[in-house]
Chains A and B, each alone.
Chain A
Amino acid sequence: MEADMDMPDPEELEWMESHGLLPEEEEEYAYLDEPDEEGFLAAGGGADQSRVSRQETTPAPTKPADEVSEGNLKRPPSPPPPEQEEERSKRRNVDREDPGDEDWLRYSPPPVVDIVAEKTISRFASEIRGECIPVTGPNGERVYAKVATGGLDGGGIGGTRQRTHISKPNFDYKESFHSLTSRAEQEALAKALQESTETQNFDSCPVTPLVTEQLWVEKYSPNSFTELLSDEHTNREVLLWLKQWDSCVFGSHIRATSNDVLSALRRHSSAIQKNSSNRNFFSKSKGSQDNMLQNAHGSSSEDMTSSFNKRSLADNAPEQKVLLLCGPPGLGKTTLAHVAAKHCGYHVVEINASDDRSASSIEPKILDVIQMNSIMSDSKPKCLVIDEIDGALGDGKGAVEVILKMINAEKNNSSNSSASTEDTQGRKSSKKGHKIPKLMRPVICICNDLYAPALRQLRQVAKVHMFVQPTISRVVNRLKYICKTEGFKTSPIALSALAEYTECDIRSCLNTLQFLNKKREALNISGFDSQVIGRKDMSKSILDVWKQVLQKKKLKRIEKADGNFSRGKDIDSLFSLISNRGDYDVTMDGIHENFLKLSYHDPMLQKTVKCLDILGVSDSLMQYVYRTQQMSLHVYQPPVAITISQLVAQVEKPNIEWPKALQRCRTMLLEKKDKLKTWQNQMSPLISRHLSVESFVEDISSPFLHIISPSSLRPVALNLLSEREKDELVQLVDTMVSYSITYRNTKLEPQERISGSMVSPDVPSLSLDPPITDIINFKGYQSEHTGLSLAMKQVLVHEVEKQKIIKDSAGKSLNQANEGGNRNDVSTSEKTSALVSTKGISKSNPTTFKMQSSASSSMSGKDPVPAKKHSNHGMNFFDRFRKERPADAKTRSDAGQQAATILRDSRPLIFKYNEGFTNAVKRPVKIRDLLL
């Protein structure tokens, strides 16, 4: 069976593409009237092989058609080895015959592809007038063909038809011959089938209409990939994704070619592809029989290599293991999943909301599907389809959790274990060792609301496809076709109105039509509201809600006449729209954010005031509900939005933005508050206890910034400062320390560079550490604050750092002194520090310096200041930092400090001081000692 399954690759995808590109034509043709049969046949009397088959098939009512269909239908999905094929076809035949006529009823004709190129086929789209579609040949060449709008040219059909068919042989690309053949065959089959169904319909309907009738939805559900109504791109993507599983699921698959084809498909055309596709072409042209043989042969020859590759191939599952299809109901998501999975040779296992979906019960089910390779050789691998996965929150989550667990397990496994590189068999055995099995089969999840909270995690790992509404014309075409086959008379206008009303929900359309058919009523446009069509209780996306609120509907002329009525209807629909959405908080934010951008006429701003007033009401209401939990009061929220809508809505399309401002404001506010709080915690408690965030922001920040950047301070060496300036500096440093702010290196900012203009760009600038300046930094506001110069900041950084160390060690040495009781020692070291190096003293903070100097002067009786100045004279301003930094760093670390103190205490220092000489004892001295 594996051999069976790996077949459908390159040819098939190509086939699919060539078909898939022409969906519109398919349908158009499908419902087109048959009368041109003769002309068609006559026209097709050329050398085309298809004609032959057609002539064969058309007269023959059922049986031959059946045979042909077997051959035809089989080919595209998977040309299996002949023996199996035979078996299968037998099986199918049996299947066919069993349900008898009933089955024929259900069988809807496969689509017939017809390139309705009027007369122009060109390499350039610009050469074709009107609509055109690209057609890609198997060798990658691409042409554009004009689209004949079949539905419109009623009487002239015969003529145009003829011409188109004559033009077909003119089609230069013989490569497409094969596909054309098959198409033609299918057409013939379709004709035959259609005829048979029609006749049967006409026969059976009057006789037993009640008993046997199926739901149309089921009856006409697409059976093959090309029949799908949903968006072509989505279909293709889904199929591609499923195909990526092939190597993993069907093991022995020839990966290389498929990769080529995939890439070719993506590129649509490429020269690289030519060779291989040419080869394909040759094989194809030999006819289907040959093709099968060749394929069989190819696969058997490839078996050798594939067995070599198997190990790596087994891991080749697509990156995203789960496919998530989402979209509004009735667009055919479930159908697509089923059809695509079948198409790729899977057996579909569906789990939907009707099943028990609690985690415990669903896990074995999923495991069954996902890991089991069936024992019986001919059964297909399974593909899991989880429908309505967003449905139930509590229990439904089970499925999501199980799948997530598996995906995660896989990730972990592949990242660390070598076991993952073993082949499938090996893995199976190792699986028992691991608790969580891997995901080995494709899983398709289907949901309506992509943003349902239950799906949050799944969304991140899954490949997501949004379903978009098919075009109305497409839906209408299909509806027309169905109506025709059912013999239900409708007008195209009514059908399109219906499609529009149901928002292209095909299910709803069909149900309505069937219902009306039963009642033998005609579909009339005016009465949709009164008629039976169920209106979906759908919640729209929030952006749609805002758009509806802020955009006035264009009044049609008829509606204008009864303006009051339509207005009432508008209000009703708005109300249901908003209340269905529910999320009033965000809704109001969005309205608030966007309504001012509308260009409504409001010279005296009365409307604006009203809008804001009512938004205020909504806010108070929200708060009240929040506090008292009286959720029922929320019903009064939609009227708020409706009022605003009535006041300001404009006809032109509003440019709606997501309301970020309020959210951003909230988060930033919290962030800033947090920053201020942490800063407050860093301050000494004696100061911080008197502060609060509000008082800081309101009262303190501005003056504070002025105070810590005094303009009077000159960026010169400390010893050049006057007494008064020194005092100021001391006070400034003290303030900065007690408020625990400092300057810190930051990335160069333009402003900073201006302030430190003389600094070369590689020197980093300094800014306040808790960034207080941000607080007063309003957009578009020029504050008067002038920062200090860079040199000054550097001095301050240094001083603050030192002051902190002094404070720390003061506390510490005090403790130590208390413990050891040798205060003497400390004082002696103080004295020594005062005496050992005059350099050190001048570096230290003036306050301490004063104290020290007084101490030393009292001891030596000599004024130390001039001497210090003397010794310090030649020194570079920046030199001092360089020397001191490492020392600072060292002393900062507590452990080092402790050790140093112990060391010092263990060796009390004794030395003799001779004035004028420097034969004092030399010993490494810590900066900390000097500071004391």
Chain B
Amino acid sequence: MLWVDKYRPKTLDKVTVHDQVAQNLKKLVAEQDCPHLLFYGPSGSGKKTLIMALIKQMFGAGAEKVKMENKTWKIDTGSRTIEIELAMLSSTHHVEMNPSDAGFQDRYVVQEVIKEMAKNRPIDAKGKRAFKVLVLNEVDKLSREAQHSLRRTMEKYSASCRLILCCNSSSKVTEAVRSRCLNVRVNAPSEDQIVQVLEFIGKKENLNLPFGFAARIAAQSNRNLRRAILFFETCKVQQYPFTSNQVAPPLDWEQYVAEIAADIMKEQSPKRLYAVRQKLYELLVNCIPPESILKKLLAELLKKLDSDLKHEICHWAAHYEHKMRLGSKAIFHIEAFVAKFMSIYKEFLVSTFG
């Protein structure tokens, strides 16, 4: 097992990074009931870990016995029947799923599948909890229609069912849904916290950490705990007695983006833009989210940029990311950003160096 999984806190008591949040949650479920919850925060901050620990707190060890199943749902929409296959992870007390997997049919998932499950009261109501928990991941990727369908479900079946929603950005969740939940913000762990975690793992693994090593990894991880621990393990695997200046190997896709940035800085022409486009396609094909590409690209470009231009470039990056979210062909917008950058940069070069 990777250390990420091995040292994942299983109970709320053991949570180290967001201990305050964990304590609050514990108090929350100590009472008989709890509201709907919405966890949001950047990836690698520990949302799911918290949710798992919370469920365990609620239902005890029984919640840890989970099984994975692919269920096919037949939904009658009047004119035709739609078949949706969804992977679900369920224990006797709760069900986890990712409704946005259904793509544009997510509305039906919410309307039918979730409703179906929410309706059924858990049979062994003699236990202390008279409700089951539905964990919905990636709520922010749900379509607007699906979110609208969700809000009624939340109210109607609140007697027998609690929803725990999990997403990266709460702004993509509609107001209506947000106001029906207790929002729990899980922020990215600070570098100090990451260092603490790394040191904790090091101690458990009987490793000898040289001074500053953990801090370096934490800095490299971009405040992403998962990444930090993975980096840590990578370092360990590659060379155990850690050297004083050892760093983890960079992520491949980030490396590739850096190459693209270098390409852009080298030459600004339609021809180069065409070459860049091919590389961007490569990234997109390999499931890298376009937002991440744009962000990383901006970061790489900013590194090499004259400070006068930074402000403007940031502005345009934001502009094109906004447009990208409005549209559906990400490549158009990333490319437009690259072209814009090239244009500005070239103008700058010409005006300063003639």
Contact = CB atoms under 8 A, between A and B. Distances in A.
B234 to A, nearest CB: 4
Given A685-B68, A685-B89, A690-B49, A608 B343 contact: yes
B123 interface: no
Q: Please give me the 3 A-B residue pairs with the lowest Cβ-Cβ distance, nearest first.
A: A619-B327, A612-B336, A703-B230
Interface in B200-256: 224, 226-227, 230-231, 233-234, 237-238, 240, 248-253, 255-256
Contacts of B233: 703, 707
Contacts of A711: 237-238
A701 interface: yes
A604 B49 contact: no
Interface in A182-231: none
A726 to B, nearest CB: 15
Given A677-B101, A699-B44, A707-B233, 17 more contacts: A605-B346, A608-B270, A608-B342, A612-B335, A616-B333, A619-B327, A620-B326, A661-B277, A689-B89, A692-B137, A697-B286, A702-B253, A703-B249, A707-B2, A774-B286, A778-B256, A780-B279
A64 B174 CA distance: 93
B281 interface: yes
B340 to A, nearest CB: 5
Interface in B114-150: 137-138
Contacts of B240: 712
Interface in A672-698: 672-673, 676-677, 680-681, 685-690, 692-695, 697-698
A712 B236 CA distance: 10
Interface residues of B, number: 78
A604 B230 contact: no
A706 B238 contact: yes
Interface stretch (A39-47, A351-359, A662-670, A912-920): A662-670
B289 A698 contact: yes
A739 B238 CA distance: 20
A783 B281 contact: no
Interface string A728-739: 100100110011
A49 to B, nearest CB: 70
Nearest to A680: B87
Contact of A665 (B67, B238, B284): B284
B323 interface: yes
Contact of B287 (A669, A707, A731, A777): A669
B347 A694 contact: no
A709 to B, nearest CB: 8
A135 interface: no
Nearest to B8: A690
A672 B286 contact: yes
Given A672-B286, A706-B249, A707-B234, A698 B89 contact: no
A712 B268 contact: no
A738 B230 contact: no
A557 interface: no
Contact of B234 (A669, A685, A703): A703
B5 interface: yes
A623 B270 contact: no
A667 B224 CA distance: 30
Interface in B57-82: 64, 66-68, 70
A623 B325 CA distance: 10
Interface in B255-272: 255-256, 259, 268-271
A676 B288 CA distance: 13
A689 B96 contact: yes
Interface in A574-613: 589, 592, 596-597, 600, 602-606, 608-609, 612-613
Contact of A685 (B66, B249, B287, B336): B66
Contacts of B292: 698
Interface string B281-313: 111111111001000000000000000000000
A695 B343 contact: no
Contacts of A626: 328
A556 interface: no
Given A605-B270, A699-B44, A778 B251 contact: no
A690 B346 contact: no
A624 interface: yes
Given A689-B96, A690-B49, A778-B252, A698 B339 contact: no
A708 B240 CA distance: 15
Nearest to A676: B287
A596 B249 contact: no
A929 B224 CA distance: 45
A896 interface: no
A817 interface: no
B14 interface: no
B188 to A, nearest CB: 13
A600 B281 CA distance: 24
Contacts of B187: none
Interface string A614-651: 01100110111010000000000000000000000000
B331 interface: yes
| Interface size classification for chain A | 35 or more
B84 interface: no
B47 to A, nearest CB: 10
A626 B145 CA distance: 14
B284 A687 contact: no
Contacts of B255: 781, 783
B249 A619 contact: no
Nearest to B137: A692
Given A605-B268, A687-B5, A689-B48, A697 B68 contact: no
Nearest to B281: A665
Interface string A93-135: 0000000000000000000000000000000000000000000
B230 A605 contact: no
Given A608-B270, A616-B333, A701 B285 contact: no
Most chain B beta-carbon contacts within 10 A, residue among A592, A698, A712: A698
A73 B273 CA distance: 67
Contact of A779 (B2, B138, B278): B278
B314 interface: no
B253 A776 contact: yes
A774 B283 CA distance: 12
A699 B230 contact: yes
A680 B331 CA distance: 27
Contacts of A693: 287
A695 B283 contact: no
Contacts of A673: 287
Given A596-B273, A669-B284, A623 B96 contact: no
11 contacts: A589-B329, A592-B332, A597-B274, A609-B340, A616-B336, A619-B329, A623-B326, A677-B87, A704-B230, A707-B230, A779-B279
Contact of B253 (A662, A685, A778): A778
Contacts of B336: 609, 612-613, 615-616
A1 interface: no
A669 B285 contact: yes
B289 to A, nearest CB: 6
A710 B238 contact: yes
A695 B43 contact: yes
Given A608-B339, A623-B326, A779-B278, A698 B288 contact: yes
Nearest to B336: A612
Interface string B311-354: 00000000010010011110111011001101100110010000
Contact of B259 (A695, A706, A734, A781): A781
A172 interface: no
Contacts of A612: 332, 335-336, 339-340
A716 interface: no
A393 interface: no
Given A609-B336, A692-B138, A702 B251 contact: yes
Contact of B326 (A596, A624, A781): A624
Contacts of B234: 703, 706-707
Most chain A beta-carbon contacts within 10 A, residue among B52, B224, B249, B268: B249
Nearest to A711: B238
A619 B324 CA distance: 9
